[in-house]
Structure 1
Amino acid sequence: MNEQQLFRQTRWRLASWYAGVMGIILALSGFGVYEAIDHAHRTAADRELLAIAGRLHNNLEPILQQPGEIPTSAQRFLPDPCNSPSQCTKTARAADHNPGAMFQGNYYIRLLDPSQDLVALAGLKPSGLISASSVSEWQFLKDKDKTRYRQVTLPLQNPNEQLWGYLQVGSSLKDSDRYVSLVKLTLFTGLPLALGFVGIASWWLAGRAMRPIHQSYQQMQQFTADAAHELRTPIAAAQATVESVLDTPCLSEADARETLQTLDRQHQRLSRLIQDLLLLTRLDRQVHLIQNEACCLQDLVNDIAEELAALALSKKIQLLTDVQVDQPLRISGDEAQLYRLVFNLVTNAIQYTPAGGKITLVLDQQEQQAVIRVQDTGIGIAPEYQSKIFDRFYRVNSDRNRQTGGSGLGLAIVQAIAQTHGGKISVQSQLDQGSTFILSLPTSSVRQATSTL
C-alpha cells in the first residue's frame, strides 16, 4: 500500500468514525427532544383534564342521591346532555357546534352507573368512541376516525358515601398529535440532512487533522533518506579505500599510512554524524530541561570569540564581539549545549562569509529575554530558503556538494537546543548583503518563575 492510499484510507476511517459518533449523538438528541415535547404535551393535557374533572367531581357529588339517577340540578353542569346512545348519536352534530361555556374545547363528559353503563354524555360527542369502559383512572381511546382521546375516570359518591357511579372526562389529542407528528417529521427529515453536513464536515476535519501527520510522515521519510545518504557516503568511501588497498599487491609504509589516515577521516566524519543524530534524538525526547547550571552569557560569548578567532583570521574574516549588557546575564540550562548552539552559529557564519568580510557577535537583553545576534556580511540566504534552513540535512546547495563540509545538521541542532531551553531562533537575510541569526532565551529569573507555576 503506497503513501497516498494509506492516508486516504485513514482519512476515510476518521471521517466515518466522526460522522458515526455525531450521527448517534444527533439521533439520541433528536429522540430526546421528541420525547421531551411529547411528554410536555401529555403532562399539560393531563393536568388540564384533571383540573376540569376535579371541578366537576366537586360540583356533582353533593347533589347526587340515587345511584344511576341524575337530578335536574346536576344538568346545569352538563352542557347538552343526552341520556342514551341513540339520542347522543342524533344530537352529536348539533352539540359539536354549541358546547357549554366550560367545554369550549375538545372535551366530553360521561356519567356511568355502578355497573359501568352509560347514564349521560355531555360536551364533545366523538363518533365511534367506546361508550363505557373499565374504571382505570387514565386511558387512551380512539374513535372510528383513529383520533386519540385522553380520558380520566373518577368515582362518584352520594352524601351517604354510597357509590353513585363514575365520572369520565376526556379530551381530544388531535391538535397535540398533529403537532407532535410535525415535530417527528421535522426531526426525521432533518436528521439525514444534518448527517450529510456532518459527513462533509467530517471529511474536511479529517483532512485538517491528517495534514500535520502527513507532513510529519513526509519529514520522517525525508529524514530517513537523508540519514541513509549521509551514513552511506563515508562508509562507501572507506570501503572503496579498503578495496583499492586490497587490490594493491605490494603496499609501502607511506601508502599504508595514507590509507589509515583516509579511513580515520571517514571514521571521524561518521562518528560526528552519529553523535549529531543521537543529540537530536535526545533533544526531541527532552520535554523540560533540568536547570542544573547557571551560564553566564558574557563568558560564553567571549570564549567562543576567542576560540574561533584563529579560524576567522585564517579566512581573512574579522570577528568582533559587542556586549551591550553591563551586569552578568545568566541563563539556566546546559552550558555545553548553549555553547554548541552559539558555536554552530558563528562557524556557520564563517563558512559563508568571503574573505574580507566581518562577523559581529552581539549580546543584549530585551524585556527579560537574553538576545544573541550573529551578524555577518556573507553571501546571504534567498527568501525561499530561509524557512527551510533549520530542517535536518537541508542545505541550500541541491547537489549536496561537500565544499563547505558539514552534514546539514548544524542549524537543526541550534533550533533544537534553543527550543529545549524555552527560546527561539530566527534569521534575517538578503542575498549578497549578509545574514543575521537572532537567538532569544529567557533569563534565569523568568525560567524559575515559569517552572514555579
Structure 2
Amino acid sequence: MNERMLFRQTRWRLATWYAGVMGIILTLSGFGVYEAIDHAHRTAADRELQGIAGRLHDNIEPMLKQPGELPTSTQRFFPEFCMSPAPCITSTRAADHAPGEMFQGNYYIRLLDTSQELIALAGLKPIGLESSSSTTAWQYLQDEDNIRYRQITIPLQNPDAPLWGYLQVGSSLKHSDQYLSSVKLILFAGLPLALVFVGVAGWWLAGRAMRPIHQSYQQMQQFTADAAHELRTPIAAAQATVESVLDMPQLSAAEVRETLQTLDRQHQRLSQLIQDLLLLTRLDRQGQLKQNVSCCLQDLVSDIAEELAALALNKKIQLQTDVQVDQPLWVSGDEAQLYRLVFNLVINAIQYTPEAGKVTLALCQQDQQAVIQVQDTGVGIVPEYQAKIFDRFYRVDCDRNRQTGGSGLGLAIAQAIAQKHQGRITVQSQPSKGSSFTVHLPIPFP
C-alpha cells in the first residue's frame, strides 16, 4: 500500500469515527431535548390543571349535601353546564371566581356519582372519550379523533356528609402534541443534515490533524533514506578498498599502510556519523534539563577558539573572539552540549570560508538573553536554502560537503541543542559575502 493510499484510508476512518461519535452524541442530545420539552409541557399542564381543579373543588364541595344531588347554586361555577341525561344549556350567570373563562375551548368538567355515573358535564364535550376510573388521580385519555386529554380526578366529600362523588377536570393536549410533533420532526429531519455537516467537518479536521503526522512521516522516510545512504557510503568505500587489496598478489609495506589509513578514515567517518545519530536520538528523547547545572559562556568561547586556532591557521583564516561582557555570563544547561553547539557553528564557518577570510566568535548580553554570534566571510547561503539548512542530512553543496567530510548533521545537532536549552538559532547570509549564525539562550534570574 503506497503512502497516499495509506493516509487517505486513515483520513476516511478518522472522519467516519468522528461522524459516528458525533451522530450518537447528537441523537442522545436530541432525545434529551425532546424529553426536556415534553416534561416541561406536561409539568406546566398538570400544574395548571391541578390549580383549576383545586379551585373548583374548594368552591363546590361545601355546597354538596346529598350524594348524587347537585345543587343549583353550583352551576354558576361551570361554563356551558348541562345535566345528564338532560340537554345541555348555556349558563348566563357570571362565575364569582371566573373559572368559566379558563375552561373555554381547552377544558372539560365532569361530575360523577359514587357509582361513577355521569351527573353533569361542562366545557369541552369530546366525542367518544375513553372511559376513565375515578380511583386513578391522573390519567391520559383519547377521543375518537385521536386527540389526547390529560385528566385529574378529585373526590368530593363534605366533612359532615358521606362521599358525594368525583370531580374530573381534563384539558386537551392537541396543541401541545402538535408542537411536540413539530419538535420531533425538526430533530429527526435535522439529524441527517447535521451528520452531513459533521462528516464534512470531520474530513477537513482529519486532514488538518494528519498534516503534521504526514510531514513527520515524510521526514522520517527521508531521514531513514539519508541515514542509510550515509552509512552505506563509508561501508562501500571500505569494502572496495578491501576487495582491491585482495585482488593484488602481494602488498608492500607502504601499500599496506595506505590501505589501513584508508580503512581508518572510513571507520572514523562511520563512527562519527553513528555518534551524531545517537546524539540526535538522545536529544529527541531527553526531557527538561536540570536548572541547577550552569555553564560559563566566556570559558566556553575561549576554549573553542583555542581548540580551533590551529585548524584556522592551517586554512589561513583569521579566527578572533569578541567578548562584550565584563562579568561572567552563566546560563543553565549542559556544558558539553553547549560546547558542541558552538563548536559546530564555528567549524562550519571555518570550513566554508576561503583563504584570507575571517571568522568572528562574539559573545554579548541582550536583556535577559545571552547572545553568541558566529560571523564569517565565506561563500554564504542562497536565501531559498536558509530555511532548510537545519534539516538533518541537508546539504547546500553536496560535493563541497563530501570534501570536508561532513554528514549534514552539524546544524541539525546545533538546533536540537539550542531548543533543549529553550533557545533558538537564527541565520543571516548573503551569497559570496558570508554568513552570521546567532544563538539566543535565556539567562536564569538570580
**TM above 0.5:** yes
> 1:236 Cα deviation (Å)?
0.5
Query: Retained in 1: the 8 A contact 2:349–2:359?
Result: yes
Q: Is the partner of 1:129 in helix, strand or coil? A: coil
> 1:444 Cα deviation (Å)?
3.6
Distance 1:228 1:368, change over 3 A: same
Query: Retained in 1: the 8 A contact 2:81–2:89?
Result: no
Deviations 1:181-227 (A, max 9, x none): 11111111111111111111100111111111111111111111001
- The correspondence of residues 48-87 of structure 1 with structure 2, limited to 5 A, is 48-84=48-84, 87=87
Tell me how far apart the structure 2 counterparts of residues 66 and 204 of structure 1 sit (CA, whole Å). 78
> 1:80 Cα deviation (Å)?
1.6
Residue 24 in 1 paired to residue 14 in 2? no
> 1:397 Cα deviation (Å)?
2.4
- The correspondence of residues 327-406 of structure 1 with structure 2, limited to 5 A, is 327-397=327-397, 402-406=402-406
> 1:372 Cα deviation (Å)?
0.5
Distance 1:367 1:351, change over 3 A: same
Query: Retained in 2: the 8 A contact 1:118–1:131?
Result: no
Q: Which amino acid aligns with 2:23?
A: G
Query: Retained in 2: the 8 A contact 1:294–1:444?
Result: no
Residue 326 in 1 paired to residue 304 in 2? no
Tell me how far apart the structure 1 counterparts of residues 229 and 177 of structure 2 sit (CA, whole Å). 75
Tell me how far apart the structure 2 counterparts of residues 89 and 412 of structure 1 sit (CA, whole Å). 100
Greater Cα offset, 246-255 or 43-52: 246-255
Tell me how far apart the structure 2 counterparts of residues 437 and 18 of structure 1 sit (CA, whole Å). 46
> 1:85 Cα deviation (Å)?
5.8
Query: Retained in 2: the 8 A contact 1:65–1:159?
Result: no
Tell me how far apart the structure 1 counterparts of residues 159 and 380 of structure 2 sit (CA, whole Å). 111
Q: Which residue of 2 aligns with 1:225?
A: 225
Distance 1:384 1:83, change over 3 A: same
Q: Which amino acid aligns with 2:384?
A: E
Residue 437 in 1 paired to residue 437 in 2? yes
TM normalised by structure 1 equals 0.93
> 1:362 Cα deviation (Å)?
1.2
Q: Is the partner of 2:139 in helix, strand or coil? A: strand
> 1:292 Cα deviation (Å)?
5.5
Q: Which runs of 5 or more structure 1 residues have no equivalent in the other structure?
A: 92-98, 447-453
Query: Retained in 2: the 8 A contact 1:15–1:203?
Result: yes
Deviations 1:16-73 (A, max 9, x none): 1111111111111111111111100000000000000000001111000111111111
> 1:89 Cα deviation (Å)?
11
Q: Percent identical across equivalent pairs?
A: 78
> 1:134 Cα deviation (Å)?
4.1
Deviations 1:344-400 (A, max 9, x none): 000101111122222111111112111101111211111211111111111012568
Distance 1:132 1:220, change over 3 A: closer
Q: Which amino acid aligns with 1:388?
A: K
Q: Which amino acid aligns with 2:58?
A: N
Deviations 1:72-115 (A, max 9, x none): 11111112212226735999xxxxxxx93242340000000001
Q: Is the partner of 1:390 in helix, strand or coil? A: coil
- The correspondence of residues 141-220 of structure 1 with structure 2, limited to 5 A, is 141-220=141-220
Q: Which residue of 2 aligns with 1:315?
A: 315
Deviations 1:109-162 (A, max 9, x none): 000000101000001111221365443100111111111110000000134241
> 1:294 Cα deviation (Å)?
2.1
Q: Is the partner of 1:190 in helix, strand or coil? A: helix
Distance 1:130 1:336, change over 3 A: closer
Q: Is the partner of 1:115 in helix, strand or coil? A: coil
Q: Which residue of 1 aligns with 2:281?
A: 281
TM normalised by structure 2 equals 0.95
Q: Which residue of 2 aligns with 1:95?
A: none
Q: Which residue of 2 aligns with 1:252?
A: 252
Query: Retained in 2: the 8 A contact 1:117–1:132?
Result: no
> 1:307 Cα deviation (Å)?
1.7
Query: Retained in 2: the 8 A contact 1:118–1:132?
Result: no
Distance 1:400 1:125, change over 3 A: farther
Residue 128 in 1 paired to residue 134 in 2? no
Q: Which residue of 2 aligns with 1:450?
A: none
Tell me how far apart the structure 1 counterparts of residues 304 and 441 of structure 2 sit (CA, whole Å). 18
Q: Which residue of 2 aligns with 1:451?
A: none
Q: Which runs of 5 or more structure 2 residues have no equivalent in the other structure?
A: 92-98
Query: Cα RMSD between the aligned structures?
Result: 1.9
